[in-house]
Amino acid sequence: MTSIDTLPTLPGRLGTPGLQLKDDPRADPRMLAAMAPLGLDVAPEAAPVDATSPIDEILEYTAGAEEGFGGVFDALFAGLPPVDGVISVTEVIEGVDGNPITLYIHRPTTTDGPLPCIVHTHGGGMVMLSAADASFVRWRDELAASGLVVIGVEFRNAAGKLGTHAFPAGLNDCASGARWAHAHRDELGISTIVISGESGGGNLSAAVALKAKAEGWLDEIDGVYSQCPYISNAWAEKSSELPSLYENDDYFLNVSMMGAIARAYDPEGVNASNPLAWPLFAEGADLAGLPPHVISVNQLDPLRDEGLRYAQKLLAAGVSVASRTVNGTCHAGDSIFRGAMPEVYAATVRDIKGFAESL
C-alpha cells in the first residue's frame, strides 16, 4: 500500500521553491535543448519594474523587452525551410476608431470551395511585437498550408515599436479585422470565422467575442480558439486561486513582469476588472450565448490555470467548450518551437483546423 510519505511532492515551485525549468522532470527535453543556448531554461532576470512602477519606466522596459523577445523568436525560427503552397497579400482597412489597420491574408494556392477562416491576434501581452514578425508569419503560413484562410491583424499595441495605444485600441482593431472578414466572406471564399491567438492574442480573441456579444454582432463569429490566454490581471499580487502563478513562475515568464506590462495596457487601472480588458472577470451573463470555444494551455506556464478557469466559467454558462493542456511545454511552447518540436507544433495546427472545420 502506498503511504503518504511516498507520494510525490507538489509540482514545480509549489513543491521545490526556486526550481529551474531545466530541472523540472515534466519539461520536454527537446524544448530544453532549444532553450538552453538562449539561456531560457533557467529563470529570467528579475524585471526592473513591476505593477507599481511609474508608467514611463514601464514603457521604457517594455520597449527593451520587445526587442529581446523578438531576437529570441528570430533565433528559434531561423533556418527553417519556407512553407510551400501558400500565397499572401496585405489589405489596409479603416478601423472603428478611424485608424488604418494592416491585415495579412494567407491562403492555400489551390482551393476547392470555401475554407474556414482564422482571424489571428498575435501574442505579446497586448503591448509588444508585430503581426509582421517572422514567427507569426510562419504560424499563419502553416495554418494556411493546412487548408485555412488566415488573416493576421496588425493591431495597435499599448507600448513598443508600434506606438503607445492603451486599451481598448488593440481590441477595437481586432474587432474591426473580424468584422471586415465577415463582411467579405464571399470575396475571401470563407465559410466559418474563428478568432484565435496566443498569450495576449488569447486575451484579444476571447475579448473580441465578449465585445461582439455586448455590441450585438455575435452572429459574425463562429468560434474562438484561445491559446495560453493572458486574462486574469492577477499578477501584481498572485492569486491563490491560480496556483500555476506560483508553480511555474520564472519558467520562461516572470509573473511580476506580467503585472508590469498589464499596467501598460491599462495605465490608470480603470479597467482592472473589465472583462473586455481581462476576460477572466466575465461572469455568466457576459458568457451565455457565446460561440464554441477551445482553450489551449501549456503545462509549465504561469498562465495555465487562468485559461483552465476561463474554460470552467464558459462551461458553467452553457457555452460549448473544449480545453487541452500541452504537456511538457512552457508558455506558448507549442507555437514557438517549430524546429525543436515539430510534432507538437503540428498537433496544435491540426487542432485549430479541426475545430474550424467542425463549426
Q: How many CB atoms lie within 10 A of CB 7?
A: 8
pLDDT tens track for 305-354:
999 999 999 999 999 999 999 999 999 999 999 999 999 999 999 999 99
Residue 5 CB burial class (10 angstroms; 0-12, 13-18, ≥19): exposed
Q: What is the dihedral of CA 339, 344, 346, 351, to 10 degrees?
A: -150
Q: Does residue 145 have a pLDDT over 70?
A: yes
What pLDDT is stored for residue 92 in this prediction?
Answer: 98
Choose the CATH number for 68-358 among 3.40.50.2000, 3.20.20.70, 3.40.640.10, 3.40.50.1820: 3.40.50.1820
| Mean pLDDT for the stretch of residues 83-101 | 98
Q: Does residue 59 have a pLDDT over 90?
A: yes
pLDDT band at residue 9 under the 50/70/90 scheme: confident
Q: How far is CA 352 from CA 57, 218, 295, in A?
A: 38, 20, 11
| Residue-wise DSSP of 4-67 | GGGSPPPSHHHHSTT--GGG-TTS-HHHHHHHGGGT-SSPPPPPS--TTS-HHHHHHHHHHHHH
pTM for the structure as a whole:
0.97
pLDDT tens track for 75-85:
999 999 999 99
Pairing of strands 115-121, 149-154: parallel
What pLDDT is stored for residue 324 in this prediction?
Answer: 98
pLDDT tens track for 170-201:
999 999 999 999 999 999 999 999 999 999 99
What pLDDT is stored for residue 244 in this prediction?
Answer: 98
Q: How many CB atoms lie within 10 A of CB 145?
A: 18
Q: Does residue 1 have a pLDDT over 60?
A: no
What pLDDT is stored for residue 237 in this prediction?
Answer: 84
pLDDT tens track for 230-278:
999 999 888 999 999 999 999 999 999 999 999 999 999 999 999 999 9
Q: How far is 54 from 184, CA to CA, in rounded Å?
A: 43
- Percent of the chain exceeding pLDDT 70 equals 98
Domain boundaries, the chain: 68-358
Pairing of strands 100-108, 115-121: unpaired
What pLDDT is stored for residue 5 in this prediction?
Answer: 62
Q: How far is 102 from 180, CA to CA, in rounded Å?
A: 12
- DSSP secondary structure code for residue 210 in this structure: H
pLDDT band at residue 288 under the 50/70/90 scheme: very high
Q: To the nearest whole number, what is the mean pLDDT of the chain?
A: 96
Q: How far is 184 from 169, CA to CA, in rounded Å?
A: 23
Q: Which residues pair with 6 in a beta bridge?
A: none
